[in-house]
Amino acid sequence: MEPVTLTTERLSLRVFAPEDIDEVHEACQDPDIQRWTSIPSPYARVDAENFILRVVPSQWQADSEYAFAVRPRDGGPLIAAASLHHPRSGTWEVGYWTAKEQRGRGHTTESVLGLARWAFTDLRCTRLEWRAEVGNTGSRAVAEKAGFTVEGVHRAGLLNKGTLRDCWVGALLPSDLGMESPLPYLPARL
């Protein structure tokens, strides 16, 4: 897929570009981002270069992951990274991190909702999943504010830095946002 730019009320989500390298490197020095995500730790400038110059373009080309730099709509500093990845049977997974100094303003929730709307329309996604290691309460708060239903814990469901970890899993359906699903949904009756 050719890269796209998404906009929300306050934000612009665009593909990462070489001019983002320094800000990505700086943001990823945060111990919380290194702890709760699968980025290398320690995170060197060469890691940011590899991610932006090699990984992101190849994943867009392969339609396997769409990573976005999140910035204010009118320009400004890097706020967050957000991506859709692991496509399978109409389901995508959302992932994100937020620069430490940008947390608590609702930007990540807004970017996740922007990605969800794009996934449900342009990508014909039928279910958007979220996963985070148990204990990552910041990520869970974003997911819940965006409307995800936390469905439970997957034991050994997340590989991070060579170790399997238990993870929370949640889902957002098109109907949760008042949108049509490309396929009908028949929920179980309990």
Is 183 inside a domain boundary?
A: no
Distance CA 129, CA 123 (A): 14
Distance CA 41, CA 134 (A): 19
Reported as a single tens digit per residue, the pLDDT across 97-137 is 999 999 999 999 999 999 999 999 999 999 999 999 999 99
Distance CA 69, CA 16 (A): 5
Is 19 inside a domain boundary?
A: yes
Is 190 inside a domain boundary?
A: no
Reported as a single tens digit per residue, the pLDDT across 40-85 is 999 999 999 999 999 999 999 999 999 999 999 999 999 999 999 9
Give the start-end residues of each E strand in 16-162: 65-72, 80-88, 91-98, 127-133, 149-160
Is 149 inside a domain boundary?
A: yes
End-to-end Cα distance, the chain: 41
Is 88 inside a domain boundary?
A: yes
Confidence of residue 189 (pLDDT cuts 50, 70, 90): confident
> What is the arithmetic mean of pLDDT over 20-49?
97
Is 189 inside a domain boundary?
A: no
Is 42 inside a domain boundary?
A: yes
Percent of the chain at pLDDT > 90 equals: 94
Domain range for residue 169? 6-177
Confidence of residue 18 (pLDDT cuts 50, 70, 90): very high
pLDDT at 128: 98
pLDDT at residue 190 greater than cutoff 90: no
Q: Model's pTM, two decimal places?
A: 0.94
Query: Angle of helix 107-121 relative to helix 137-145, nearest 10 degrees?
Result: 60
Is 45 inside a domain boundary?
A: yes
Confidence of residue 87 (pLDDT cuts 50, 70, 90): confident
Overall number of domains in the chain? 1
Reported as a single tens digit per residue, the pLDDT across 158-185 is 999 999 999 999 999 999 999 999 899 9
> What is the arithmetic mean of pLDDT over 17-25?
98
Identify the CA nearest to 81 among candidates 53, 122, 39, 128: 39
Tell me the CATH number at 27.
Answer: 3.40.630.30
Identify the CA nearest to 119 among candidates 170, 174, 58: 174
